């Protein structure tokens, strides 16, 4: 007797078996894309372009540093993701901000679920609002103290 969860597991297994994926070692080093159809060999026969994030890389792990996307490419890939995901538009300034951990931020933006990016952006906005309120309160306190002396 089959249960719904057994049917669900069989359906998921069938979907993942149909979708050809490459090994982790051959997937995109930037966004971890592994779907074969999304990893396209370039005309030079040596590099692969990821259709998900636009990165171009080689399978030779030692050479990956030489083929990393430059800052302009990373920025353009993030702009594309925002343009293609209207829910991210209100957070464009935060996503595209020049964060100190630029490469890590780019990698995370490219693979993180939209809901996670929104949650992150909203927490930053909340922190900014709290800092502004604290500053305003301290200014009022100092003004009050100055008036008292």
CA distance 107 to 67: 15
pLDDT of amino acid 32: 79
Verdict on whether the full-model pTM lies above 0.75 = no
Query: Structure tokens of 125?
Result: 């906005």
Chain mean pLDDT for the chain: 78
Residue 90 has pLDDT above 50, yes or no: yes
pLDDT of amino acid 123: 93
For residues 42 and 56, the answer to whether their CB atoms sit within 8 Å is: yes
For residues 58 and 138, the answer to whether their CB atoms sit within 8 Å is: no
What contacts 47, CB < 8 A, 6 or more positions away? 41, 56, 57, 58, 67
pLDDT of amino acid 67: 43
Selected residue with higher pLDDT from 139 and 13: 139
Q: Which of 27, 43, 23, 21 is nearest to 107 (CA)?
A: 27
Share of the chain above pLDDT 70, in %: 79
pLDDT of amino acid 6: 60
Residue carrying structure tokens 């297994």: 13
**Residue 64: which pLDDT band, with cuts at 50, 70 and 90?**
very low
For residues 78 and 72, the answer to whether their CB atoms sit within 8 Å is: no
Query: Average pLDDT, stretch 126-139?
Result: 89
């Amino acid at each position: 007797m089959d249960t719904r969860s057994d049917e669900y597991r069989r359906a998921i297994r069938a979907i993942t078996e149909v979708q050809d994926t490459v090994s982790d070692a051959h997937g995109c080093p930037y966004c971890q894309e592994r779907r074969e159809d999304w990893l396209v060999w370039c005309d030079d026969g040596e590099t692969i372009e990821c259709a998900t994030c636009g990165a171009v890389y080689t399978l030779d792990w030692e050479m990956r540093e030489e083929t990393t996307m430059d800052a302009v490419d990373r920025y353009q890939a993030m702009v594309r993701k925002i343009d293609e995901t209207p829910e991210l538009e209100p957070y464009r300034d935060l996503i595209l901000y020049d964060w100190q951990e630029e490469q890590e931020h780019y990698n995370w933006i490219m693979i993180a679920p939209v809901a996670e990016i929104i949650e992150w952006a909203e927490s930053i906005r909340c922190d900014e609002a709290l800092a502004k309120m604290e500053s305003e309160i301290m200014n009022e306190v100092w003004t009050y103290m100055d008036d008292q002396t």
